[in-house]
């Protein structure tokens, strides 16, 4: 059985490690690296882990952490709210490999949606890549609808 709790600063390294493992195959930064190689001596995992530090700096209260009864962190969701627009954003959802397809991702999203409602948001937004078919199914089953597709381009400047 898992529970969801607020983020703690000490969680950051664990969340970053979970993220680096979970985004293999579904990361824009990984696609950039596949095409051009490492950027500034850093790999895609470093850049993706930095996104989590950015999420924590922007809205630490917007990160919800899932843990087992033993205290092992097995997933998290990061969120932030655009109060003027009334839109709650979900930039990152991560569930550890052994806990995927067990309802953990659904529980995390539902907790985020509850938070958005409590904060007066009227809409929620989440993004994913085309190749993240598991995410597509989950998001649609929760009531999200595809509203747009985006193509990411990159180029080497030297």
Kindly report each contact of residues 50-57 with a partner whose C-beta sits within 8 Å and lies 24 or more positions away, as own/partner.
51/19, 51/91, 51/92, 52/12, 52/15, 52/16, 52/19, 52/78, 52/92, 53/12, 53/16, 55/80, 55/91, 55/92, 56/7, 56/9, 56/12, 56/15
Output the pLDDT for position 140.
Answer: 95
Residue 33: inside a domain? yes
pLDDT of 19 > 90? The answer is yes
Which CATH number characterizes residue 88's domain?
A: 3.40.630.30
Residue 154: inside a domain? no
* Residue 44's pLDDT band (cuts 50, 70, 90): very high
| Average pLDDT taken over every residue of the chain | 95
Higher pLDDT pick, 52 / 25:
52
Q: What is the pLDDT of residues 82-130, one digit of tens each?
A: 999 999 999 999 999 999 999 999 999 999 999 999 999 999 999 998 8
Count of structural domains, the chain: 1
């Amino acid at each position: 059985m898992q529970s969801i709790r607020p983020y703690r600063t000490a969680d950051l390294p664990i969340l970053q490690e979970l993220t680096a493992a979970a985004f293999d195959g579904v990361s824009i930064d990984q696609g950039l690296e596949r095409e051009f190689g490492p950027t500034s001596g850093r790999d895609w995992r470093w850049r993706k882990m930095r996104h989590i530090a950015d999420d924590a700096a922007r809205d630490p209260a917007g990160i919800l952490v899932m843990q087992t009864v033993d205290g092992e962190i097995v997933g998290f969701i990061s969120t932030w709210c655009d109060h003027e627009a009334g839109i709650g954003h979900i930039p990152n959802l991560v569930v550890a490999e052994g806990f995927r397809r067990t309802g953990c991702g659904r529980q995390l999203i539902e907790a985020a949606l509850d938070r958005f409602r409590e904060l007066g948001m009227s809409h929620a937004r989440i993004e994913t890549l085309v190749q993240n078919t598991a995410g597509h199914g989950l998001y649609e089953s929760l009531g999200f609808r595809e509203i747009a597709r985006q193509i990411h381009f990159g180029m080497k400047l030297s």
